[in-house]
């Protein structure tokens, strides 16, 4: 994340990333993991890695959602990595051999 935006331009953020998974057969997201909270910056560097064990059911159609939260912002709006409000969603990119 770089140059995250806030309502008050001079306010520093205290952010973390929440990782959620939506499997192709389910309509809802499942919270999978969080990073640590990085305090006092609009350019957080998260040190926590997230991996999925080989037995975890990830498919090409699985959606992985990364949401950046400011822990002190009570509005519960999310901050996207490019500074826009809203979550980022990614496909898993997993390919299976036949």
Question: H/E element holding 65?
Answer: strand 63-70
Contact predicate 16/50, CB 8 Å: no
CA atoms within 13 A on the CB side of 77: 12
Tell me the domain boundaries of the chain.
14-49+59-91
Neighbours of 44 (CB within 10 A): 21
Rounded CA-CA distance 81/90 in Å is 13
pLDDT for residue 98: 38
pLDDT along the chain (98 residues), means of 10: 78 90 88 94 91 88 90 58 48 45
Q: Which pLDDT score is estimated for 8?
A: 74
Cα 44 to Cα 57: distance, rounded to the nearest angstrom: 30
* pLDDT for 88: 54
């Amino acid at each position: 994340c770089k140059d995250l935006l806030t309502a008050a331009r001079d306010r520093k953020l205290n952010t973390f990333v929440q990782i959620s998974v939506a499997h192709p057969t389910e309509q809802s997201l499942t919270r999978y993991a969080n990073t640590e909270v990085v305090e006092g910056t609009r350019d957080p560097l998260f040190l926590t890695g997230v991996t999925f064990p080989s037995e975890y059911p990830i498919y090409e159609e699985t959606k992985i959602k990364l949401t950046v939260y400011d822990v002190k912002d009570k509005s519960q709006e999310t901050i996207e990595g490019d500074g826009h409000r809203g979550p980022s969603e990614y496909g898993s990119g997993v390919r299976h051999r036949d």
